[in-house]
Structure formats: C-alpha cells, structure tokens
Amino acid sequence: MACHGPQGNSQNPEIPSLAAQPQLFIENQLVLIREGMREVPQMKGLLDGMKDPEIVALAAYFAAQKPVAVAAKRDEAMFQRGQALAGKALCGSCHLPDFTGRQQIPRLAGQHESFLLTAMKQFRDKPGPGRDTIMAASLYGLKDQDLADLAHYLAQLR
C-alpha cells in the first residue's frame, strides 16, 4: 500500500490503483511478476517466496476495495476524441463498456491519466514478456496524441 495507496487507491499518478481491479487480473499479474515473467523493477523482490494462497488473499483484498475518483480537470475536446477512439478500437469489448474490466482484463476507468498513457505507450512501443500481445496489436499505429486522448477519456470515467 506504500506505493499503490490506501486501500489500493494510488496517490501517485505514475502508479496504478489496484482498488476494484478484477481479482483474477491481480492474481495473474502478481504471479507473472513473482516468477520473473513480467518485469516491474519497483516490485522486484517484494513477491519472492510469496505463496499462491497469499497472492489470492492479496488480490481478493484489492478487488473488494472501492475506487476513489481521481480529481482531474476535463478537457472536453480530448475527452470526445478519446471516447471516439475507444469506440472505434472496440476497447469496451474486452474491458467492458464501462471500462471496469473483467476476469484477466484490467479496469481502466478512473486510473491516473499519466499511468494510462505510459502503459499504452509501453504496449505499443515495447511489448515484452508478460505483456498482452493483443494490446500491442490494438494500439499499433496510434499516434502519441491518440494515446493521450484515450488516456484522458479513460481517466475521467468513474
């Protein structure tokens, strides 16, 4: 919670909130990180020796938490462009129409805009071990401004 915030609601715009993320998504990510299949330098060593039942309990805790809205000023033009891009790219078909995520697919609604933008750029530009190849393909060809618009739109959702 030192990094991901009280009850999993991150106070740092570069770190994702875990509150209300789907339990299976959290479990999968923690196992990938623990096993060295997904590199998150800040998490290195934190999960060493953690048993599966502890990961399940941790994931259940964060999944049950209520997300706290991130206060950010809406840019109406960016919001509208992001909404149109999300519709065109069919983002809601996997992340659900309200972008709350499901099963192994993360919640995007209400995440920090900066985090979302960084994550999308990583998927587009540097897909690697433990990363979803479908996301890399989905973001292929989108320009930085497109990603900024998507991130702004998603961050505004509650």
The pLDDT assigned to 20 comes to 97
Say which CATH number the domain at 120 has: 1.10.760.10
Q: How far apart are CA 150 and CA 10, in angstroms?
A: 20
Q: How many CA atoms lie within 13 A of 98 on its CB side?
A: 3
> Does residue 100 sit in the same domain as residue 149?
yes
1 is in an annotated binding site: no
> Does residue 111 sit in the same domain as residue 82?
yes
- Residue 71: inside a domain, yes or no? no
135 is in an annotated binding site: yes
pTM for this prediction: 0.92
- Residue 70: inside a domain, yes or no? no
Residues of the chain short of pLDDT 50, as ranges, are none
The pLDDT assigned to 130 comes to 63
Q: How many CA atoms lie within 13 A of 49 on its CB side?
A: 2
Residue with tokens 């979302």: 116
Q: How many CB atoms neighbour CB 40 within 10 A?
A: 12
Residue with tokens 């479990």: 27
> Does residue 81 sit in the same domain as residue 56?
no
> Does residue 41 sit in the same domain as residue 95?
no
pLDDT digits (tens, 9 = 90+) for 80-92: 999 999 999 999 9
152 is in an annotated binding site: no
> Does residue 56 sit in the same domain as residue 33?
yes
Q: Which domain holds residue 56?
A: 13-64
- Residue 6: inside a domain, yes or no? no
> Does residue 91 sit in the same domain as residue 150?
yes
Query: Average pLDDT over the chain, rounded to whole?
Result: 93
> Does residue 27 sit in the same domain as residue 60?
yes
The pLDDT assigned to 2 comes to 84
> Does residue 149 sit in the same domain as residue 106?
yes
> Does residue 26 sit in the same domain as residue 94?
no
Domain count, the chain: 2
> Does residue 38 sit in the same domain as residue 110?
no
> Does residue 86 sit in the same domain as residue 132?
yes
The pLDDT assigned to 12 comes to 92
